[in-house]
C-alpha cells in the first residue's frame, strides 16, 4: 500500500509538471467581432482547463450506505419483526445502513436497530470531484451546471446543430466575455460557442483577507464555488451548495473551531422542516454550528441547497479535511472567508 501510494504521488507530480508547462495565453482572445485566428487556434488546442481532478474518496463512498427515510413516522425496531422502540419524526431524515442483505425486507442501521425496507430508500452519494489548480487560476474556467448546447453568439438560442453539447459538471475554459441586450454576461468557451453566466459556476481569485497567512479557504456565495489557498496561491477549487433563503450562510471571516471525520446532524426534531442525518462525513465547523461537510443526500452543487452549511461532495470534503490538517494536526484555526463576488440576492433570485 505504501509503495502504491508513492507511485500515485509520483504520477501526480509528473502530470502536474507536464500540465504546468502547457500554459496558454487567453489575451489573444480579447479581440471579438471578429475573433482572431490565434484565438481560434488556441481554443481548438485547449478546449479544457489546466486542472487535475482529485482522487475519489473510495473508502467513505464504499464503507457507508445512506438511505432516505421515506415514510412519515417510520418505525424503528429492536430486531426484524421485533418491538418498535421509536419512530422517526417528520422532516428530512437519512440513516446509515450497516446490513441490507442478511434479512429479507429489513435493514440494520448504525445504531444497531432495524427498519423495514419499505420505509427507506437507498440514495447513492455524488461522485463529483473538484480539481487541483495547476496554473494558479491565471486563466478562468467554469463548470457547466446542466446539460446544454452552446449558443453561436451572446444572447442566442442553444444550437443543437452546431453547438457543443455539455453535460452537468463538464469543465470549460472561459476565453472571453460579452453581454447580450438584456445585460446578461456570456462566456466564450470555444469557437462560436457561448454560454450564459447563470448556466455555469466559475471559481474566481479573491484578495487574501488582512491578517490571514498560510492555508485558508474562500467560499463565494455568488458563484457557489470554494477555493483552497496557500497564501496567495489557489491550489484547489470546487462547487458547493450554501444556505437557502431564510437559512443563508453568513458572510465574514471565520476559523475552523472543530473538525470531525463524521458527525450526526439534526434539528427541529419532529417538525415538518426538521432533519436527522446520520454519519455526515468530514465535518469542519467554522461559524458556531455551521460547517463545511461532505454531503450524501444531493448533488446540486453549484446551487444553493442547505440550511446554512457549506455542502461539498464527499471526495471534496475529505480532500479539504486532510489538506487543512497537514502540519496542523486537526486543521483547527484554518481561516474560512465567506463572501460574494457579485450581487448576492438573499431571496434566491438570479442576478446579473
Asked if the structure places residue 154 within a domain, the reply is yes
Q: Is pLDDT of 1 > 60?
A: no
Asked if the structure places residue 307 within a domain, the reply is yes
Residues 218 and 229: beta-carbon distance below 8 Å = yes
- In the chain, the number of structural domains is 3
Asked if the structure places residue 55 within a domain, the reply is no
- How far is 142 from 149, CA to CA, in rounded Å? 15
Query: Which residues contact residue 339 at a Cβ distance below 8 angstroms, ignoring those fewer than 6 apart?
Result: 206, 218, 219, 220, 221, 251
Asked if the structure places residue 228 within a domain, the reply is yes
Region 19-27: mean pLDDT is: 62
Give the domain CATH number at 98. 2.30.30
Put simply, whether the predicted model's pTM sits higher than 0.85 gets the answer: yes
Looking at the fold, whether 39 and 170 belong to one and the same domain comes out as yes
Residues 203 and 234: beta-carbon distance below 8 Å = yes
- How far is 210 from 252, CA to CA, in rounded Å? 12
Looking at the fold, whether 159 and 23 belong to one and the same domain comes out as yes
Looking at the fold, whether 189 and 328 belong to one and the same domain comes out as no
Weakest mean pLDDT among 42-46, 66-70, 92-96, 345-349: 345-349
Q: How many other CB atoms are there within 10 angstroms of residue 36's CB atom?
A: 13
What per-residue confidence (pLDDT) applies to 272?
A: 64
Asked if the structure places residue 208 within a domain, the reply is no
Looking at the fold, whether 22 and 151 belong to one and the same domain comes out as yes
Looking at the fold, whether 184 and 38 belong to one and the same domain comes out as yes
Q: Is pLDDT of 143 > 80?
A: yes
Looking at the fold, whether 307 and 180 belong to one and the same domain comes out as no
Looking at the fold, whether 73 and 193 belong to one and the same domain comes out as no
Looking at the fold, whether 104 and 219 belong to one and the same domain comes out as no
Segment 232-283, tens digit of pLDDT? 999 999 999 999 999 999 999 999 999 999 999 877 666 666 778 999 999 9
Q: Which structural domain range is residue 234 located in?
A: 215-339
Looking at the fold, whether 181 and 253 belong to one and the same domain comes out as no
Asked if the structure places residue 186 within a domain, the reply is yes
Amino acid at each position: 500500500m505504501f509503495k502504491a501510494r508513492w507511485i500515485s504521488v509520483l504520477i501526480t507530480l509528473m502530470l502536474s509538471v507536464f500540465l504546468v508547462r502547457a500554459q496558454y495565453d487567453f489575451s489573444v482572445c480579447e479581440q471579438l467581432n471578429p475573433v482572431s485566428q490565434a484565438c481560434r487556434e488556441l481554443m481548438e488546442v485547449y478546449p479544457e482547463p489546466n486542472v487535475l481532478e482529485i482522487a475519489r474518496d473510495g473508502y467513505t463512498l464504499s464503507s457507508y450506505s445512506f438511505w432516505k427515510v421515506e415514510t412519515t413516522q417510520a418505525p424503528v425496531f429492536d430486531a426484524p419483526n421485533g418491538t418498535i422502540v421509536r419512530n422517526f419524526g417528520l422532516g428530512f431524515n437519512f440513516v446509515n445502513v450497516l446490513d441490507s442483505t442478511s434479512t429479507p425486507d429489513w435493514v440494520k442501521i448504525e445504531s444497531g436497530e432495524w427498519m423495514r425496507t419499505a420505509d427507506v430508500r437507498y440514495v447513492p452519494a455524488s461522485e463529483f470531484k473538484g480539481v487541483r489548480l495547476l496554473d494558479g487560476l491565471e486563466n478562468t474556467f467554469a463548470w457547466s451546471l446542466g446539460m446544454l448546447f452552446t449558443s453561436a453568439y451572446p444572447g442566442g438560442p442553444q444550437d443543437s446543430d452546431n453547438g457543443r453539447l455539455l453535460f452537468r459538471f463538464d469543465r470549460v475554459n472561459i476565453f472571453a466575455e460579452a453581454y447580450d441586450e438584456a445585460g446578461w454576461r456570456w462566456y466564450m468557451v470555444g469557437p462560436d460557442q457561448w454560454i450564459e453566466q447563470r448556466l455555469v459556476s466559475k471559481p474566481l481569485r479573491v484578495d487574501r483577507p488582512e491578517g490571514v497567512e498560510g492555508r485558508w479557504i474562500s467560499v463565494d456565495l455568488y458563484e457557489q464555488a470554494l477555493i483552497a489557498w496557500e497564501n496567495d496561491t489557489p491550489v484547489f477549487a470546487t462547487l458547493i451548495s450554501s444556505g437557502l433563503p431564510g437559512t443563508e450562510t453568513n458572510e465574514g471571516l471565520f476559523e475552523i473551531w472543530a473538525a470531525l471525520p463524521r458527525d450526526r446532524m439534526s434539528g427541529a426534531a419532529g417538525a415538518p422542516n426538521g432533519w436527522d442525518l446520520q454519519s455526515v462525513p468530514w465535518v469542519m465547523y467554522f461559524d458556531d454550528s455551521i460547517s463545511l461537510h461532505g454531503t450524501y443526500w444531493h448533488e446540486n452543487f453549484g446551487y444553493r441547497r442547505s440550511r446554512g452549511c457549506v455542502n461539498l461532495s464527499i471526495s471534496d470534503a475529505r480532500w479539504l479535511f486532510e489538506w487543512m490538517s497537514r502540519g496542523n494536526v486537526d486543521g483547527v484555526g484554518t481561516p474560512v472567508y465567506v463572501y460574494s463576488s457579485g450581487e448576492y440576492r438573499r431571496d434566491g433570485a438570479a442576478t446579473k
